[in-house]
């Protein structure tokens, strides 16, 4: 049972018997590491992690926000769920599409829906319009 995986993360308090676990199994972690949001945990011992990245377009001198997503091994001792922010690290290929393993749960992600944001913006606009109307009425009263 190895606890040190080569980076400074705390080992999970629960033990597992998964042979692909970076903490309790035979898999070593190395190479790239990413921090992203778990968007799906419906597969057995697998999660889909997604994060934003920027791509620069020289012709337009602008950056574009793109989403990258990979499938990562989710050991039973870590047990990451949907909408959690996790750190994943590269491993040897565990299956056809899995080359990463979840090594740390950083925290919960509060989901913000686009509809909620548009409602807030509309309410703010209405509030600004009513303030402008009140100012106009007070100007008319002071003039007349």
The answer to whether the CB of 49 falls within 8 A of the CB of 72 is yes
pLDDT digit of tens for each residue in the chain (144 aa)? 566 777 888 888 888 898 999 988 888 999 999 999 999 999 999 999 999 999 999 999 999 999 999 999 999 999 999 999 999 999 999 999 999 999 999 888 654 444 443 344 445 555 556 666 666 666 666 665
User: Hey, how many other C-beta atoms are within 10 angstroms of the C-beta on 79?
Assistant: 16
For the chain, the domains span: 1-110, 112-144
Pick from 14, 78, 68, 15: nearest CA to 45: 78
Handedness of CA 93, 97, 82, 15 (dihedral sign): negative
CATH architecture of 1-110: Beta Barrel (2.40)
Show Cβ contacts of residue 94 under 8 Å, excluding neighbours closer than 6 positions. Answer: 20, 27, 73, 101
The answer to whether the CB of 31 falls within 8 A of the CB of 105 is no
d(CA 68, CA 112) in angstroms, rounded, equals 19
Pick from 36, 41, 108: nearest CA to 73: 41
What pTM was estimated for this model as a whole?
A: 0.70
Helix (H, G, I), strand (E, B) or coil at 88: strand
The answer to whether the CB of 46 falls within 8 A of the CB of 72 is yes
d(CA 54, CA 62) in angstroms, rounded, equals 10
């Amino acid at each position: 049972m190895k606890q040190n995986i080569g980076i400074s993360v705390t080992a999970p308090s629960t033990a597992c018997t998964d042979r692909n676990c970076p903490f309790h199994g035979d898999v070593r972690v190395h190479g790239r590491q990413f921090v992203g949001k778990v968007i799906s945990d419906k597969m057995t011992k697998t999660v889909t992690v997604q994060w934003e990245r920027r791509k620069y377009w020289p012709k337009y001198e602008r950056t574009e926000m793109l989403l990258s997503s990979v499938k990562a091994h989710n050991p039973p001792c870590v047990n990451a769920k949907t909408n959690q922010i996790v750190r994943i690290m590269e491993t040897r290929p565990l299956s056809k599409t899995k080359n990463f393993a979840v090594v740390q749960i950083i925290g919960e992600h509060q989901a913000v829906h686009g509809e909620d944001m548009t409602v807030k913006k509309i309410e703010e606009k209405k509030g600004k319009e009513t303030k402008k109307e009140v100012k106009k009425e007070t100007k008319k009263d002071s003039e007349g």
